[in-house]
Amino acid sequence: MSIDETIRARIPAELSGMVRSATLRGNVATLVVDAGGLGRSAAAQLQRELEEAVGALDHVSEVRVALMADRKERQIIAVGSGKGGVGKSTLTANLAVALAGMGHKVGVVDADIYGPSQATLLADTPSKLRAEGEKLIPHDSDFGVKFVSMGQLVEAGKAIAWRGPMVGQALSQLMDADWGDTDVLLVDLPPGTGDVQLTMLQKFKPSAAVVVSTPQDLALIDAKRALDLFRQAQVPIAGIVENMAGYMCPSCGDISDPFGKGGAEAAAKELGLPFLGRVPLAMEIRQKSDAGTPPAAAADSDMGKPFIGIAAQLHRALEQVG
């Protein structure tokens, strides 16, 4: 084994991807580690683990760990749901736009590999991803939000028939894109609790999670499964959002509740979790989303205000978990 390989053999597998170089001069081992995006406590824990692992080598008397943290700490926020069709992607896009309007440098990862939609929600014209070296370069939207999506890599309408390992690799490439000084990264997860969710939780360790549900009982049952997965992974729950909460007839203005009313808020109270707010079922939201012009971009519009309010709640939650 070379010296570099000898040192690397002592590094736990889950940490090896962060080590950029490992050298030995005399009895001193020096490791250069990418700690970008890690919080202070996580970076300190990473340093301790590497020092203990490499320091166990007989011929190493001192371990020096250089943490590369020259970029601003990045918070990863997972946006999930227990089932599809609850408006999770639309919420993610609008939260991103609203947070950008509050001064955050925001990125969106479309982790719904089989059903990507952020390339439509955040752009009124098709966009393609480019790469520099091994890094994807996120697309800059017109709303101050960067994003990456399989929808920018695969021909429109073409099925993505991949097994779990390939999906995990795709997620890693999207997450490891060149995000620059992005400080909040929203991850639009696919529905359910499958491979993508597990890869995200184990490899990228989100700072917090937002769970989206409609008010109806069936959606809430599935939302609770998503909440349980985040809890098992010790990811703080920033809160629950109730989507499609009330429909306003565009002709007469009457309000009806086709999916029920208040179910997500009641569930949040029952579970002792924050309720971030509700978004109505509205034609305008659907039309603007299909056109790639998120309602949150117009902060003073009736359909933009619910997203702005939820983003403000999320902003406060991020300050607490950060």
- DSSP state, 295? G
| Cα 216 off chain centre by | 25
Please check if 86 is assigned to a binding site: yes
Please check if 89 is assigned to a binding site: yes
- Which tokens is 88 given? 């999770």
Angle at 72 between CA 66 and CA 73, to 5 degrees: 80
Closest CA to 24 of 10, 12, 43, 13: 10
Please check if 239 is assigned to a binding site: no
The CB density around residue 279, as the number of other CB atoms within 10 Å, is: 25
Please check if 80 is assigned to a binding site: no
* Whole-number Å distance between alpha carbons of 107 and 110: 10
Handedness of CA 288, 293, 296, 298 (dihedral sign): negative
* Whole-number Å distance between alpha carbons of 314 and 156: 33
Which residues are CB-contacts of 176 (< 8 A; sequence separation ≥ 6)?
Answer: 135, 136
Residue bearing tokens 């985040």? 230
Please check if 88 is assigned to a binding site: yes
DSSP-derived 3-state class of residue 234: coil
The CB density around residue 72, as the number of other CB atoms within 10 Å, is: 13
Please check if 83 is assigned to a binding site: yes
Pairing status of strand 208-213 against strand 237-242 = parallel
Distance set, CA 204 to CA 37, 42, 152, 168, 320 (Å): 10, 12, 22, 12, 20
Q: Name the packing angle between helices 217-232 and 263-271 (round to 10°).
A: 30
**Binding-site annotation, residues for ATP:** 82-89
**Binding-site annotation, residues:** 82-89
